[in-house]
A = this chain, B = another copy of it.
Amino acid sequence: MLNFDLYLPTKLIFGIGSIERLGIEVKNIGKKALIVTGKRSSQENGILERVIKLLSKENIESVIFSKIESNPKNNIIDEGGEIARVEKCDFVIGLGGGSAMDSAKGIAVVAKEGGEIWDYVPDGLKIPKRITSALPIVEVPTLSASGSEANGGAVITNSRTKEKIFFRSYHLFPKISIIDPSLTITVPPEKTGEGGIDIICHVLDPYLTNIEPNTPLQERLQEAVILTVMENLPLAMKDGRNLEARANLAWCAVFAVSGFPNFGENAGFPMHSIEHPISGLYDIPHGRGLSALIPAFLETVLEINPKRLQQMGERIFKINESDKKKLAKETIKRMKEWLEEIGMFTKLRELGVKKDSFEKIAEDSIRISGMGRNYLSNFPQLNKEEIIKILKRAF
């Protein structure tokens, strides 16, 4: 096991109806909040109004910044930061999916530290500015997916270059997150599915790429998340009002990024690293891009590190097959079938991705996520050619 620090200084408030505690929980943080939310959904379904009321009951003033769209852009975040500064907001509330929650984090930095958010983003071309402070952040997820409610990271897209980049800081951990599964019941099946795929990939990425030989607890925790999402995602997609399934997905989203499932492993996030340039470039949903990549990446794993697929086959799909090669192949087949069953099997071409961008996608993913090396991930090591091979398979 590798050495690591695990520090999750967020108060996680979980449960159906827990949104009612919002005002009381945040009233010691400040008297004026910037609510960062999406253009449509949280307004349409009444959640935004409810949040404003809960704050106002505790004499907390709200300023609404509702310009967030999926794959949130740096210029919008800069604008939000400026508003928070001018309006003298004491703290920021992210209300929505990963886009709103990540934007809230970026806005909290810009509002407190000034400058532009892209200065702080490690784009592989410059040494980013260090985040030394941020306004207090509160997150209220309305989609089970990114886990932004339980980590110190955010993903932001450059509106000009289309680069979509993950960055992190201790100061980006929410002070408080209120994870109320009942806020997710209006999420439509397709978006629910995309969120579930994101959760799975948060643990599947390190599961398939870890090269540390002795991390049995971590592997089992990853398997626990995969199995639980695979059970509950179809239920929530079929009946959005299935609160138990929604609750299980909401808690899986948190746990997946908590650090426990992967800290101590020597692993990468290749599917995430390849997907970010895709959704940055084509402005498609992250979970959709990931689901196109899963079967293609599994084929690469089969060539280079089939042991992982064998373990996955035995423990996730309970495949009883003594021929190890067949077992690994059957695992890929089952994964594909599951994606098909829930209507999440996708090809990149169906998402509008063009073949002539493969080179740029591969180069960007290595530049942005390769940590200065000319490949992604340790095992399989994915150089530009390998990444293009995955993209072709996923096409």
User: What residues make up the interface of A, taking CB atoms closer than 8 Å to B?
Assistant: 1-18, 214, 216-217, 220-221, 223-225, 227-228, 231-232, 244, 247-248, 251-252, 255, 258, 260, 263-264
Known: A214-B247, A248-B217. A12 touches B5 (CB 8 A): yes
A252–B255 Cα distance when bound, in Å, is 16
A225–B1 CA distance with the chains assembled, in angstroms? 16
| Contact in complex: A228, B244 (CB < 8 Å) | no
Q: Can you tell how many copies of this chain the complex includes? A: 2
Residues from chain B with a CB closer than 8 A to the CB of A1 are: 15, 244, 247-248, 251
Q: Which of B6, B9, B11, B224 contacts A14 (CB 8 A)?
A: B6
Q: Measured between alpha carbons, how far is A392 from B10 in the docked complex, in Å? A: 45
Residues of B within 8 A of A244 (CB): 1, 214
In the complex where A13-B5, A18-B3, A224-B224 touch, is A255 in contact with B248 (Cβ < 8 A)? no
Give, as a whole number of angstroms, the nearest-CB distance from A196 to chain B.
13
Q: Is the interface of A mostly helix, strand, loop or mixed?
A: mixed
Question: Is B11's CB under 8 angstroms from A3's CB?
Answer: no
Among A228, A232, A258, the most chain B Cβ lie within 10 Å of the Cβ of A228
Given A220-B223, A227-B220, check contact A15 B11 (CB 8 Å).
no
Output the nearest chain B residue to A9 by Cβ-Cβ distance. Answer: B9
Cβ of A180 to closest chain B Cβ, rounded Å: 9
Check if A12 sits within 8 Å of B3, measured CB to CB: no
Minimal beta-carbon separation of A173 from chain B (angstroms): 11
Bound CA span A251–B212, Å? 15
Give every chain B residue within 8 A of A17 (Cβ-Cβ).
Answer: 3
In the complex the two chains form, what is the Cα distance from A1 to B247 in whole Å? Answer: 7
Does B3 contact A14, Cβ atoms closer than 8 Å?
Answer: yes
Q: Could you tell me the distance in whole angstroms from the C-beta of A386 to the nearest C-beta in chain B? A: 31
- B216 & A228 in contact (Cβ 8 Å cutoff): yes
Nearest first, the 5 closest Cβ-Cβ pairs linking A and B are A3-B15, A220-B224, A214-B244, A7-B11, A6-B12
Rounded to whole Å, the gap between the CB of A93 and the closest CB of chain B is 18
**Residue in contact with A5 in the complex, picked from B11, B225, B263, CB distance below 8 Å:** B11
Is there contact, CB below 8 Å, between B9 and A255? no
A3: B residues at CB distance < 8 A? 14-18
B contact residues around A221 at 8 Å (CB): 221, 224, 255
In the complex, A30→B328 CA distance in Å?
55
Q: List 30 A-B contacts (CB under 8 A).
A: A1-B15, A1-B248, A1-B251, A3-B15, A3-B17, A3-B18, A4-B14, A5-B13, A5-B14, A6-B12, A7-B10, A7-B11, A14-B263, A14-B264, A214-B244, A214-B247, A214-B248, A216-B248, A217-B224, A217-B225, A217-B248, A217-B252, A217-B255, A220-B224, A220-B227, A220-B228, A221-B221, A221-B255, A224-B224, A260-B260
Q: Which residues of B contact A255 (CB under 8 A)?
A: 217, 221, 260
A211 to chain B, nearest CB (A): 14
Q: Are B14 and A217 in contact (CB under 8 A)?
A: no
Complex Cα distance A217/B224, Å?
Answer: 6
CA–CA, A9 and B217, complex, Å:
22
Give the chain B neighbours of A5 by CB distance below 8 A: 11-14
Residues in B neighbouring A225, C-beta threshold 8 A: 217
Question: Distance (Å) between the CB of A10 and the closest chain B CB?
Answer: 8
**Residues in B neighbouring A4, C-beta threshold 8 A:** 14-15
Q: Which residues of B contact A9 (CB under 8 A)?
A: 9
Question: Closest B-chain residue to A13, C-beta based?
Answer: B5
A14 to B6, CA, bound (A): 8
